[in-house]
A and B are shown apart, each in its own frame.
Chain A
Amino acid sequence: MSCPFQRLLDPSGRPDPYPLFAELRATPVARQDDGTYVVSTYREIVALLHDPRISSRRRDLDRTPAFIALDPPEHDRLRRLAMRHFGPPGSPGRIDALRPDMLEITTGLIDALAGKRRADLVEEVAYPLPVAMICRLLGVPREDEGRFHAWADELIETLAPGEERRAERERARREVTGKLNDYLDGLVDARRREPGDDMLSGFIADGEMTQVEIVRTGVLLLIAGHETTINLIANGMLTFLRNPEILARVQADPGLIVPAVEELLRFEPPVQMLSSRVALEDLTVAGVDIPAGSPIVLALAAGSRDPAHVPDPDRFSLDRPRNEHLGFGGGVHYCFGAPLARLEAQIVLTELVGRLREPRLVTDPPPYRPSPVLRGPRHLWVEYAEVARP
């Protein structure tokens, strides 16, 4: 039998990777045959997320990467410029102010489920809301969705860990990011001519990012802004429908959606691992020497279920005091869009739970998308008796 990490990468393990993550934790820092080090325990992951000797600049794929693939100080500069139009200190209330829009879009999506008894919650709810929101925020025309949807899917599949077939994946990634860059480049030019109140227009007006920096930041936010949230929403409904007592509690007390979403981020995280870190110096982690230059994978999903960190980790609980998890990573690369994802998931799940009467899973487990990094159902077929009014 191959090692647990290799089995995790195999699509057949996608429906339930957690026993493999548990096996992985038995060796907190596991060297793979290709020289990659996989870190799977909570304390070690948190330590490496805050370790300045770890770089996110994995490969010189692109001479001008987006901030997700940069280290300080360039990372900090670009992230701060992007944050100016998204959150504090420049725009502290922007995301909170979107809640009415989120609810309105969600209401429309769920209204559309009425009149039938069966729906694919991925295609019909979990995907459209975050795409609509990120398009609106960034200033991407919603009608272009058909174009970038396919590119986004292709891009996600190139984000696998390990050195095997890396060259092939990187070639594919270059090709698809080329298309996305060209698309955004045209969009930025359009915004330059006709500015709006969106983020791209804000970046242009600041005049502190180059055209290329605006394009790279735009591509990053467009992709990251919806691909992960889809999974959070779909994993959420899947978990609720598998645990009727949880569903009943959230139905009875909608305020529980707040701890529920935190627990989802711990229990079924949309981002299962960070696969693109590299050691800048020789390090020793949990007694294992990691030579400079080694690729490092941080298995966030394993860390959030580390029994040394959280009691009874494989149980989904709404009652965890101080739920600290790795759902959004940590350190300077902590998920840029976390507040947006949280609010979207809280609102959509509240509405689904509140409005779908007698929902049940049609297939369990559902079919999964192939990526082991951004893991989630491709479809989530659900049957229900009726759709209640909002």
Chain B
Amino acid sequence: MRVVVDLTRCQGYGQCVFLAPEVFSMGEEVLRYDLDPPDDQRDHILRAAAACPVQAIHLDWTAMRALPASRECGIRFEGRIVIVGGSLAGARAAEALRRDGFTGPLTVIGDEEGEPYDRPPLSKQVLTGQVAPEHTKLPRVRRVEAEWLSGTPATGLDVAAKKVLLADGREIPFDRVLLATGTRARPWHDEREAALTGVFTLRTAGDAAGLRAALAAGPKRVLILGAGFTGSEIASVCRELDLPVTVVERGPAPLVSALGGVIGDVAAELQRAHGVDLRCDTTVTSLEGDADGRFRRALLSDGSTVEADVAVVALGSIRNVEWLRGSGLAAGVWGVTCDAGCRAVDLNGLVLDDVFVAGDIARFPHPLYQYQFMTLEHWGNAVAQAEIAAHNMISDQAHRWPHLAVPVFWSSQFGINIKSVGVPTFADQIVVTQGSTADRRFVAAYGYQGRLTAAVTFDQGMWLEFYQGRIEQAAPFPQGDAQPARVPERLSASAETTVVVTGHDPAERRVSLLHTPGGVTS
């Protein structure tokens, strides 16, 4: 029986742990669970799922007694729908299409073999060995009649001819298409060094299986490149496994690019308190191997050397949009630009009615944040945006919805449940409103020009909902002992691609993109 918990919604009530203690476990607020528990736990799991106060536990539809009803879409769309991307966003979109009454032909194209799986556990309970990497398959939340073309990457999109081109030469026609190809791990820039045995990235279940095996072998030290959420979570697992770990971070503290410097400092103290050898304002300049091609040491920008036998490159992700080059869509390293209704925009900024985008690659304008375009690589966003995209694909204009969800994400590391609502980098001020950073149990509010824009909690997840409501109401930034937010400058992601406008007459003015091969971003 498959289980997945929507940890975006979870508030840490712990009811599931009481009712199914062999499947779910909880620290102060960090929830861990078995994604594929044995059948003898079925009754326990059904009790736990029913009891969840926020109904965050999802099971296979076959285990559910009642399924959510379909929603009104106006005129039914009857054409052929193709979803490119078979992971969380693609799978949820397929389920939502069928739930809401779409009966036409549906094809899902995925580059990975097998059924879609859940990625967040890959950097947590899979690495600790509590859950096997192959036991992370997502529950099928309803029956989906669809043609699944897995293991077949898409290589091109012909918008005019309404066809998706596949690597094996096939052409898949569509009336409407959803692009949800997600991201991949950013590899180490030096291919030869990246190929050393013991050098890993972490994105897929296969990556997790390899890294888990390397950690289980008891390396004398693990080196982690990058202290974003993934790098920090892996460092946390290493400490849980009692493995020595060095984390090298380019910025002044962990998590700075997501949460700013004030919380970054808290995260740095947290890592060091757990025995992480944390090197900030430092980068790795090269990875060195021995004669057998095994990773042995890394050279750092401060001239020092770290001896280790496992290195994890956790330097962020790259959006899988290269296949859209030449499609005429406004697609680049920033993602695929779309409107708030998930409809893709072409190079000229014109909305396309038959091409939709969802998940990690969708770059959409958010009205709460001055209509800035943003991409959100969060589990909750993939689910919410897939719902909106699916709905809009089969709705008439009058029934279409905007994707206005306030971003929420979570991480668990070093025994602490970190949650965020809003956009913490959209801030000039920060104040601790509840608890204290010294206890590592607190709520921090972020504000921009006097308005509340985000909140971050450490083991205080139950309060997040309040702050979400306040953000939605454009509430004033709370009074208190505020500090500068110390958030990074918004990254410019245009280095690989240049936008050029040509023509003078309004009927002739058009945009084109100039690609710079091998360009570097950020």
Contacts and interface: CB of A to CB of B under 8 A. Distances in A.
Tell me whether A and B are bound partners.
yes
Interface of A: 46-47, 50-52, 72-73, 76, 87-89, 92-93, 95-96, 255-256, 258-259, 261-262, 318-324, 328, 330-332, 334, 338-339, 342-343, 346
Q: Which 6 A-B pairs have the closest CB atoms?
A: A339-B18, A93-B21, A88-B17, A322-B55, A321-B66, A88-B26
Interface of B: 13-15, 17-22, 25-28, 43-44, 46-47, 50-51, 53-55, 64-69, 433-435, 441, 443, 462-463, 465-466, 469
B470 to A, nearest CB: 9
A14 B469 CA distance: 35
Nearest to B465: A50
A372 B207 CA distance: 58
| Residue among B18, B67, B469 with max Cβ neighbours from chain A (10 Å) | B18
Contact of A258 (B14, B50, B435): B50
Interface centre among A93, A255, A339 (most CB of B within 10 A): A339
Contact of A323 (B14, B18, B50): B50
B66 A319 contact: yes
Contact of B18 (A95, A319, A324): A95
Contact of B65 (A88, A96, A259): A259
Contacts of B465: 46-47, 50
Nearest to B55: A322
Contacts of A262: 50-51
Nearest to B57: A322
Contacts of A321: 64, 66-69
A274 to B, nearest CB: 15
B502 to A, nearest CB: 51
B27 A89 contact: yes
Contacts of B434: 52, 72
B61 to A, nearest CB: 10
A47 B19 CA distance: 27
Given A52-B433, A323-B55, A324-B54, A339 B462 contact: no
A193 to B, nearest CB: 31
Nearest to A332: B462
A255 B435 contact: no
10 contacts: A47-B469, A52-B443, A88-B18, A256-B65, A261-B50, A321-B66, A323-B50, A323-B55, A324-B54, A343-B19
A165 B434 CA distance: 35
Contacts of A95: 18
Nearest to A263: B50
B73 to A, nearest CB: 18
B44 A255 contact: no
A54 B18 CA distance: 28
Contacts of B466: 47, 50-52
Given A92-B21, A255-B46, A321-B68, A339 B15 contact: yes
Contacts of A46: 465
B507 to A, nearest CB: 49
A323 to B, nearest CB: 7
A52 B443 CA distance: 11
Given A321-B68, A332-B462, 11 more contacts: A52-B466, A88-B18, A92-B18, A96-B19, A255-B46, A258-B47, A262-B50, A262-B51, A320-B66, A321-B67, A334-B13
A261 B51 CA distance: 9
A342 B20 CA distance: 13
B51 A339 contact: yes
A51 B464 CA distance: 10
Contacts of A339: 15, 18-19, 51
B71 to A, nearest CB: 12
Nearest to A258: B50
Nearest to A325: B53
Contacts of B462: 50, 331-332
Contacts of B43: 255
A191 to B, nearest CB: 24
Contacts of A96: 18-21, 44
Contact of B47 (A51, A92, A346): A346
Given A46-B465, A92-B26, A324-B55, A87 B17 contact: yes
A221 B19 CA distance: 19
Q: Among B26, B28, B466, B469, which residue has the most Cβ atoms of chain A within 10 A?
A: B466
Contact of B68 (A50, A259, A322, A332): A322
Nearest to B460: A72
B42 to A, nearest CB: 10
A73 B440 CA distance: 13
A102 to B, nearest CB: 13
Nearest to B44: A96
Contacts of A342: 19, 47, 51
A177 B60 CA distance: 49
A88 B25 contact: yes
A260 B397 CA distance: 40
Contacts of A256: 65
Contacts of A334: 13, 53
Contacts of A255: 43, 46
B14 A87 contact: yes
B66 A87 contact: no
A92 B25 contact: yes
B60 to A, nearest CB: 14
A328 to B, nearest CB: 7
Contacts of A258: 46-47, 50
Contacts of B15: 338-339
A87 B17 CA distance: 8
B476 to A, nearest CB: 12
Given A50-B462, A89-B26, A92-B25, A338 B435 contact: no
Nearest to A339: B18
Contacts of B44: 96
B345 to A, nearest CB: 34
A262 to B, nearest CB: 5
Residue of B15, B54, B69, B433 ringed by the most chain A CB atoms within 10 A: B15
B484 to A, nearest CB: 24
Contacts of A92: 17-18, 21, 25-26
Contacts of B433: 52
Of B14, B43, B46, B50, most buried by chain A (CB within 10 Å of CB) is B50
A319 B19 CA distance: 21
B51 A338 contact: yes
Given A87-B18, A92-B25, A346-B47, A330 B53 contact: yes
A259 B13 CA distance: 19
Nearest to A322: B55
A327 to B, nearest CB: 9
A324 B52 CA distance: 8
Contacts of B46: 255, 258
Contacts of A261: 50
A173 to B, nearest CB: 28
Nearest to A324: B55
B479 to A, nearest CB: 10
Contacts of A51: 466
Contacts of A332: 462
Contacts of B443: 52
Contacts of B469: 47
Contacts of A89: 25-28
A258 B66 CA distance: 13
A320 B64 CA distance: 11
